[in-house]
Amino acid sequence: MQCPYCKEEIIDGALKCKHCGSTIVGAGAGQNDFAAMFSKGAGIWKENLGDLVLLTLVFMLLVWIPIANVGFIAGYTRSLLKVSRGQGKAQVGDLFNAWDCFPNLFVFVLINLIVCVVLHFIPFFGTLISFALGFVVLPGMFLIIDKGVGAIDAYKWSIETIQADFVNWLVAYVVGNIIFCAGFVMLFIGIILTASLGQLIIIQQYERVKP
């Protein structure tokens, strides 16, 4: 069989690619996989709730700063990745420690922003396509923040990993965003609670398939 990520030949039924190290997802595992991801993400969130609330509060205050907010998004995501991997606690200082990937992430975000602006001139369908674009590029954003890859490589991997594991990525994306948006119902305080949980659930999917 062929690895869905690097396209190299691997043994039939392999759970991990010997060439790129990616986890090979079974075709019928979607629902059980997501249940495990949700459970793990929620567990990490509960164990670190106090630290995550403080991190998210400061992040929400900084994310309104133009251009620099790209760096703060990277710092916030890296902090959640660190917590998810058991490498330490979430700290406010983490927000300022991801500038190394800023150039690549800024180009990535800028390209997506320009495309979305153009799409919004298309009635109705433009909004739907913009939402779909957000889903397609999401894995690439995590890869840039985690591995520091370039924008083109991030787009390429995004498409490959979604093609290989569409159901789990879609469910993680939809549920993660629903949880995040649920914070708006509880006003600003709610976002402080739900933002990290939504991201942690999506991170569990990224951790399963990251190269």
Interatomic CA distance for residues 98 and 67, integer angstroms: 14
Distance CA 33, CA 49 (A): 24
At 175, the pLDDT band (50, 70, 90 cuts) reads: very high
Q: What is the chain's mean pLDDT, rounded?
A: 88
Phi, psi dihedral angles at 133 (to 5 degrees)? -65, -40
Residue with tokens 């060439």: 19
Residue 195 has pLDDT above 80, yes or no: yes
The sign of the dihedral angle between the CA atoms of 94, 72, 37, 52 is positive
pLDDT of residue 22: 66
Which residues, in sequence order, are bridge partners of residue 2? 9
Half-sphere exposure of 203 (CA within 13 A, CB side): 24
- As a whole-number percent, the residues of the chain with pLDDT over 70 amount to 88
Q: Residue 27's pLDDT is what?
A: 42
pLDDT tier at 11, thresholds 50, 70, 90: low
Give me the mean pLDDT over the 43-62 stretch.
96
**Directed axis angle between helix 166-185 and helix 151-164, to 10°?**
110
- The tokens describing 152, both together, are 């083109």
Confidence of residue 23 (pLDDT cuts 50, 70, 90): low
Rounded to two decimals, the pTM is 0.84
Contacts of 177 (CB under 8 A, 6+ apart): 198
**With bands split at pLDDT 50, 70 and 90, how would you rate the model's confidence at 47?**
very high
Read off the pLDDT of residues 110-163 as tens digits, 9 standing for 90 and up: 999 999 999 888 888 888 898 899 999 999 999 999 999 999 999 999 999 999
